[in-house]
């Protein structure tokens, strides 16, 4: 190998990415971008492993449906009109952030969410999928807790998850 030749850094294959991910709604999003928006709203400050574990809650719930669509599963609301993932609710402060992620964080933060979404949709990290369908902060007891089985805090490369995960 010739001396003093700089090595090229490893670059992941780039997908076409718009300059901005601003949207008025989610109608033109691919499944990947839509899932990344949800991860941005729900888990942008968490480790990549925990983002993937949360992503699997969406995928596992969607796969129980005949159409297997994350988008259609997330369009459903409970009897109070709330979405299963709070960042989708109109009055949630994260709703505006997921419509314009670059307006609130650097593009790199959203890129991490895109990477996690891509990994979930491609089943690249099945070791992080325990069949989880729900999650909540570990100190929180959601009203639906009695309807699901607690899996506990899941392993991550940094130790254990901040959230408790559940399986229905």
Residue by residue, pLDDT tens for the chain (168 residues) are: 344 444 344 344 455 555 578 888 888 899 999 999 999 999 999 999 999 999 999 999 999 988 888 888 887 878 878 888 899 998 999 999 999 998 889 888 999 999 999 999 999 999 999 999 999 999 999 989 999 999 999 999 999 999 999 999
Tracing tokens 């392993």 back to the chain, one arrives at 155
Task: Identify whether 61 is part of a domain.
Answer: yes
Q: Are 71 and 31 in contact (CB under 8 A)?
A: yes
Q: Rounded to whole angstroms, how far apart are CA atoms 39 and 119?
A: 12
Task: Identify whether 15 is part of a domain.
Answer: no
Task: Identify whether 1 is part of a domain.
Answer: no
Task: Identify whether 23 is part of a domain.
Answer: no
Q: How many domains does the chain have?
A: 1
Instruction: Record the pTM.
Output: 0.84
Q: Residue 115 belongs to what domain range?
A: 31-130
Task: Identify whether 160 is part of a domain.
Answer: no
């Amino acid at each position: 190998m010739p001396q003093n030749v700089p090595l090229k850094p490893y670059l992941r294959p780039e997908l076409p990415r718009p300059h901005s991910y601003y949207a008025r709604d989610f109608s033109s999003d691919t499944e990947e971008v839509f899932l990344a928006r949800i991860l941005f709203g729900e888990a942008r400050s968490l480790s990549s492993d925990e983002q993937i574990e949360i992503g699997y809650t969406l995928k596992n719930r969607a796969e129980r449906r005949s159409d297997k669509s994350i988008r259609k599963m997330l369009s459903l609301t409970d009897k109070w009109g709330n979405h299963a993932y709070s960042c989708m609710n109109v009055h949630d402060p994260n709703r505006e952030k997921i419509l314009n992620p670059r307006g609130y964080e650097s593009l790199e933060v959203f890129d991490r969410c895109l990477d996690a979404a891509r990994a979930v949709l491609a089943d690249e990290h099945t070791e992080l999928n325990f069949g989880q369908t729900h999650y909540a902060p570990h100190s929180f007891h959601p009203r639906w807790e009695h309807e699901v089985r607690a899996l506990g805090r899941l392993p991550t490369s940094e130790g254990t998850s901040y959230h408790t995960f559940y399986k229905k």
